[in-house]
Amino acid sequence: MTLGSSGSSVVVPRNFRLLEELEKGEKGIGDGTVSYGMDDGDDIYMRSWTGTIIGPYNTVHEGRIYQLKLFCDKDYPEKPPSVRFHSRINMTCVNHETGVVESKKFGLLANWQQRFTMEDILTQLKKEMAASHNRKLVQPPEVGAYVMFLNVNVILSLWIWGSHIIQFWY
Amino acid sequence: MGGDDAAAESATTERNAANEVNINIRCSNGSKFSVQIGLDSTVRSFKEAVAHNCDISSDQQRLIYKGRILKDDQPLQSYGLEADHTVHLVRGFSPSNTTGGTNSGGGGGGNTTTANTRGAGANEGGGLGGPGFGASPFPGLGGNNGMGGGGLNGLFGAGFPDLEQMQQPFLSNPNLMRDIMNTPAMQNLINNPDIVRNLIMNNPQMQELMDRNPELAHILNDPSTLRQTLEATRNPEIMREMMRNTDRAMSNIESSPEGFNMLRRMYENVQEPFLNATTMAGNTGNDAAAVRNQSTNPSTTNSEATSPVPNTNPLPNPWSSTGTGGGGQTNTRRSTTTGGDARQPAPTGLGGLGLPDLEGMMGGMPDTAMLTQLMQNPAISQMMQSILSNPQTMNQILGVNNEQRGMPDLNSLREVMQNPEFLRLFSSPETLQQLLSFQQTLLSQLGQQQSAQEPGQTGGGTGPLNNMGLEMLSSMFGGLGAGSLAVPNRSNEPPEQLYATQLSQLQEMGFFDTQENIRALIATSGNVHAAVERLLGNPGQ
C-alpha cells in the first residue's frame, strides 16, 4: 500500500516502515533505556504499540519504569502517533488526568517529520524528563506506595480497635 | 559481541544443548552479554541464568522486551522472544532488600528463643492472674483434664461461634462502637493525635523499620494519616470504605504487568516487618514483667484478705446468652463441671495445663473458611499484645491510672498471648494471600451475618495443624465475645433480677451497697471477679 507524498522522491510503504521499527525493537539497538514493541503480534495493521522508558539518572524519575501506549493509525508516518502514559507521571507535557502526551507542548509531536520513529519519541521523552523544568517535579507515589498507605491505615485501625476491646472489657 | 568469558561459556553451552537459543542482554549501564536458554523456560529461570553473568540478583532484575516488563511466571515464548533478540535489564531497587530479609530471619530466631523462656513465665502469670482475670476462658482450659476427646470437640465447637460473635458487635453495630468512642478516654485519644504517634514511636522495632523504609516513616509521621486512622475507628462506614479501597487497589495491581511482584516486594519489605515490629514488642517488655510480677503480690494479698469466704457457687455461664437451645443445654452442663474443676488447679497455674490435651485434637486438614477465620485472630491479638506489653501505653490509652485494677489481668493475658505458634504464623510466606482473604471475609461478614456463622460451626470440630496457640486464644476470645454480647442482650431486664445471684455473692463478700454492686455488675457484664476488682479499685464510685 503506497501513501502519496509529494515532498519525497522515495516513498516507503507504511507496513515496511513499521516492520523495520519492529525489527529494531526486537534487536534492542540503542542505548538500552527505551524499549518498545507491538501489543498484538497478529495485528496485520500494526497499530497498537507498547513502550517503556527507564527514568534518567539524577532526576526524580530515577529508578522508575514508565509504561506508555503508542497508537499508529493508517496515516503514520505522515502523522505522528498518539502517545499516552500508563504509569503515573508528573510532566509539563503530559495531561495529569489521562496521561496523554499533548502535541502542543511536546516539540517532537508538534514538529513531526516523516523520518521520525517511535524510538525517537521515547528517547525525546526521556530527555524531556531530564530537562530543567521536569527533573525536580514532585512525582505521584508509585502504586505500591499507595497500597502501602491504605494497608498501614487498615493495620493502625485494627490496632486501635483492639485497644478498644481491651478497654471495653476491663 | 560479549566478553571472552561470555563467548567461552556460550560455546560450551552450545555443545551441550542444541535446542537452546542465544538471547542478548543489554544492561542499563551499557554493557552487553549473551545467555543460552530454552524459549520454553519461565522468566524466573531466565533471570537466574542472567544472574550468573552480572552482579544483579534475580529478584532485583527487571527485564524489558519490546516495551513489556516480563513477569516471572510466564514462559519466554509467550512474549515472542526469539534467537538473537535483545532484552533490556534494569536493577529493580536498592540492595537494602537483602538486609531486610536477613533482619527478618534473625528476628524470627530471637522470637523462638524468647518465647521458650516466656513459656515458663506463662504458668506463673496464669496463677497470679487467675482469680482476677475473667473466669470464662480458664475454666474451659482447666476442665480439659477431666474430659474426653468428645467433650473437647464440643467445647471448641462452641468456641468458634463465639469468635464470630465477638467481632459482630463492633462491625455490625455502629451504635456500640460509637458509645465506646464517646467515653472520655477515647475522646482524649482522638483529640491528641500525638498520643498515637508516641505509641508507634515507643516501639524499637518500629523505629528500626522506619529507618529502613523512609516511605513508611513519612506515612506514619503524617498527621493527616493519623487523623484518618482515628476517624476510621470512630465511623465503621469509613473503615469499610477503606478496606474496600485496599482490596480493589491490590486486585488491580496484581492484574497489571509486574503487579504481583510489586505486591510481594511491598509485603516483604514493609508489611511483614511492620507486623513483626508490633509482635516483637513483647521482647522489650520482658524485663518489666518481672517487676510487674512482684507488684501483683500485694494485690493478691489484699484480695485474699477481702474474700475470707471461698466462692463455692457455680461461675456465670458465658455461653448462655449466645448458644442455641440444644447447644445451650450442653454448654450449661460443661460449664458447671469446668467451674468446679477450675478452682483446684488455680494455684499451680492454669495457662499451661491445657496444652497436652489440645495436642490430641490435632488432625485433619483445615478448610479454607476456618483458616480464614483463624487469621482474623492474629491481626487483633498482636495489637492487643503490643498494648499489653507496655504499661505506659495502657495508661495513655485509658487516660487514667489503672495499675491496681488491671495489672494482674495484663500479666496473665500478655503471657498467654505470647505463644510461639503466633510468631511462626506471622512469618508464614502465605500471609499476604491470607491477608487478602481476611479482608474479603471481613467484608462478607458485614452483609451476611447468618452465613458467616455457619462456616465457623462447621470447622469447629477439626483442629488445625500446628495451631495450638490459636485454639487457646479462640477459647479466650469466645469468653470475651460472650461478655461483649451480654451488654446489649441483657439491657431489657431489670439489673436486680438479672444479677440476683451475683448480687447475693457480693453481699456475702461484704459489699453491702446494692446500687454500687449493680453498677459494677453492669459494667463487667455480670462477672463477679471483675466486679470485685472494680469495686476495690474505685472506692469513690
Do A106 and A126 have their domain in common?
yes
**Cβ neighbours of residue B2 closer than 8 Å, sequence gap 6 or more:** B10, B32, B33, B34
The minimal CB distance from A162 to the residues B64, B263, B380 is found for B380
- For residue B49, pLDDT over 50 is answered with yes
Do A101 and A162 have their domain in common?
no
Q: Which residues in chain B touch residue A37, judged by CB atoms under 8 angstroms apart?
A: 65-68, 80
Say what percent of chain B tops pLDDT 90.
0
Q: Which residues in chain A touch residue B189, judged by CB atoms under 8 angstroms apart?
A: 160
A154–B243: do the CB atoms touch at under 8 Å?
yes
Q: Which residues in chain A touch residue B483, judged by CB atoms under 8 angstroms apart?
A: 169
Do A74 and A128 have their domain in common?
yes
- For residue B276, pLDDT over 50 is answered with yes
Q: Average pLDDT over chain A, rounded to whole?
A: 78
Distance from CA of B536 to the nearest CA of A (A): 14
pLDDT confidence tier of residue B205, bands split at 50, 70 and 90 = low
Give me the number of domains chain A comprises.
2
**Cβ neighbours of residue B407 closer than 8 Å, sequence gap 6 or more:** B292, B295, B296, B299, B391
A161–B380: do the CB atoms touch at under 8 Å?
yes
A52–B220: do the CB atoms touch at under 8 Å?
no
Average pLDDT over residues B194-211: 68
A150–B90: do the CB atoms touch at under 8 Å?
no
How big, in percent rounded to 5, are the helix, strand and coil portions of chain A?
Answer: 35, 15, 50
Helices (H) and strands (E) in chain A, counts: 4, 4
Closest CA to A80 of A128, A34, A117: A117
Do A43 and A106 have their domain in common?
yes
pLDDT value of residue B538 = 58
- Give me the long-range contacts of B40-46 (CB less than 8 A, separation at least 24): B40/B75, B40/B76, B40/B77, B41/B75, B41/B76, B42/B72, B42/B73, B42/B74, B42/B75, B42/B76, B43/B70, B43/B71, B43/B72, B43/B73, B43/B74, B43/B75, B43/B76, B44/B72, B44/B73, B46/B70, B46/B76
pLDDT value of residue B493 = 56
- For residue B111, pLDDT over 70 is answered with no
Residue A74 lies in a domain: yes
Distances (CA, A) of A28 to B26, B32, B55, B58, B84: 8, 11, 21, 21, 10
The residue in chain A having the minimum alpha-carbon distance to the alpha carbon of residue B166 is A165
Distance from CA of B249 to the nearest CA of A (A): 7
B219–A37: do the CB atoms touch at under 8 Å?
no
Do A26 and A63 have their domain in common?
yes
Mutation choice for B interface testing from A42, A43, A52 by most B CBs within 10 A? A52
The residue in chain B having the minimum alpha-carbon distance to the alpha carbon of residue A68 is B67
Mutation choice for A interface testing from B190, B246, B476 by most A CBs within 10 A? B246
Q: Which residues in chain A touch residue B196, judged by CB atoms under 8 angstroms apart?
A: 156, 160
B225–A153: do the CB atoms touch at under 8 Å?
yes
CA angle B188, B191, B195 (to 5 degrees): 70
Lowest mean pLDDT among B193-202, B231-240, B333-342, B526-535: B333-342
Ordered strands of the A82-85 beta sheet = A34-38, A48-54, A65-71, A82-85
Question: What digits encode the pLDDT tens for the residues A53-68?
Answer: 888 888 888 878 888 9
Question: What digits encode the pLDDT tens for the residues B126-135?
Answer: 333 333 333 3
DSSP secondary structure code for residue A76 in this structure: T
Residue A1 lies in a domain: no
Residue A50 lies in a domain: yes
pLDDT value of residue A44 = 81
- For residue B463, pLDDT over 50 is answered with no
Which one of A71-85, B420-434, B516-530 scores highest in mean pLDDT?
Answer: A71-85
pLDDT value of residue B274 = 66
Average pLDDT over residues B315-333: 39
- For residue B219, pLDDT over 60 is answered with yes
Which residue segments constitute the domains of chain B, with CATH numbers given? 18-89 (3.10.20.90), 168-269 (no CATH), 493-535 (1.10.8.10)
Do A24 and A80 have their domain in common?
yes
A159–B271: do the CB atoms touch at under 8 Å?
no
Mutation choice for A interface testing from B90, B201, B403 by most A CBs within 10 A? B90
Which one of A73-87, B1-15, B192-206 scores highest in mean pLDDT?
Answer: A73-87
Do A63 and A81 have their domain in common?
yes
The residue in chain A having the minimum alpha-carbon distance to the alpha carbon of residue B435 is A151
pLDDT confidence tier of residue A10, bands split at 50, 70 and 90 = low
- A155 lies in which domain range? 142-169
pLDDT value of residue B264 = 73
Which residue did the predictor score with more confidence, A99 or B247? A99
The CATH number of residue A34's host domain is: 3.10.110.10
Q: Which residues in chain B touch residue A143, judged by CB atoms under 8 angstroms apart?
A: 249, 253, 256, 259, 262
The minimal CB distance from A160 to the residues B65, B233, B388 is found for B233
- For residue B526, pLDDT over 80 is answered with no
Residue A9 lies in a domain: no
**Cβ neighbours of residue B288 closer than 8 Å, sequence gap 6 or more:** B389, B391
Which residue blocks in B307-419 are alpha helix, DSSP H?
325-343, 354-359, 368-388, 391-398, 403-417
- For residue B425, pLDDT over 70 is answered with no
Do A18 and A63 have their domain in common?
yes
A167–B64: do the CB atoms touch at under 8 Å?
no
The torsion angles phi and psi of B358, rounded to 5 degrees, stand at: -65, -30
A164–B27: do the CB atoms touch at under 8 Å?
no
Average pLDDT over residues B422-433: 45
Q: How many CB atoms lie within 10 A of CB B347?
A: 11
- For residue A5, pLDDT over 80 is answered with no
The minimal CB distance from B387 to the residues A26, A141, A162 is found for A162
The residue in chain A having the minimum alpha-carbon distance to the alpha carbon of residue B185 is A167
pLDDT value of residue B391 = 47
The minimal CB distance from B64 to the residues A35, A158, A164 is found for A35
Closest CA to B382 of B423, B354, B410, B433: B423
Q: Which residues in chain A touch residue B82, judged by CB atoms under 8 angstroms apart?
A: 26
Q: Which residues in chain B touch residue A160, judged by CB atoms under 8 angstroms apart?
A: 189, 196, 229-230, 233, 383
Q: Number of Cβ pairs closer than 8 Å across A and B?
A: 178
Cβ proximity of B236 and B242 under 8 Å: no
pLDDT value of residue B191 = 63
The residue in chain A having the minimum alpha-carbon distance to the alpha carbon of residue B81 is A26
Residue A90 lies in a domain: yes
Per DSSP bridges, beta strands A65-71 and A48-54 are antiparallel
B265–A144: do the CB atoms touch at under 8 Å?
yes
pLDDT confidence tier of residue B448, bands split at 50, 70 and 90 = very low
Do A131 and A147 have their domain in common?
no
- For residue B64, pLDDT over 80 is answered with yes
Q: Which residues in chain A touch residue B250, judged by CB atoms under 8 angstroms apart?
A: 147
Say what percent of chain A tops pLDDT 70.
74
Lowest mean pLDDT among A1-10, B25-34, B404-413, B424-433: B404-413
The minimal CB distance from A32 to the residues B28, B183, B274 is found for B28
Which residue did the predictor score with more confidence, B534 or A159? B534
- For residue B181, pLDDT over 70 is answered with no
Average pLDDT over residues B511-522: 81
The residue in chain A having the minimum alpha-carbon distance to the alpha carbon of residue B66 is A37
Q: Which residues in chain B touch residue A50, judged by CB atoms under 8 angstroms apart?
A: 66-68
Cβ proximity of A11 and A2 under 8 Å: yes
The minimal CB distance from A51 to the residues B67, B253, B484 is found for B67
pLDDT value of residue B464 = 36
Residue A7 lies in a domain: no
Average pLDDT over residues A43-62: 85
Do A35 and A115 have their domain in common?
yes
pLDDT value of residue B160 = 37
Do A73 and A110 have their domain in common?
yes
pLDDT confidence tier of residue B233, bands split at 50, 70 and 90 = low
- For residue A130, pLDDT over 70 is answered with yes
Distance from CA of A6 to the nearest CA of B (A): 33
The residue in chain A having the minimum alpha-carbon distance to the alpha carbon of residue B176 is A168
Cβ proximity of B123 and B345 under 8 Å: no
Question: What digits encode the pLDDT tens for the residues B130-158?
Answer: 333 333 332 333 333 333 333 333 333 33
The residue in chain B having the minimum alpha-carbon distance to the alpha carbon of residue A64 is B92
The minimal CB distance from B67 to the residues A33, A37, A141 is found for A37
Residue A2 lies in a domain: no
- For residue B30, pLDDT over 60 is answered with yes
Do A57 and A88 have their domain in common?
yes
The minimal CB distance from A166 to the residues B85, B263, B384 is found for B384
Residue A22 lies in a domain: yes
A148–B216: do the CB atoms touch at under 8 Å?
yes
The minimal CB distance from A147 to the residues B230, B266, B381 is found for B266
pLDDT value of residue B140 = 32
Which residue did the predictor score with more confidence, B204 or B326? B204
Cβ proximity of B157 and B461 under 8 Å: yes
Distance from CA of B533 to the nearest CA of A (A): 10
The residue in chain A having the minimum alpha-carbon distance to the alpha carbon of residue B406 is A170
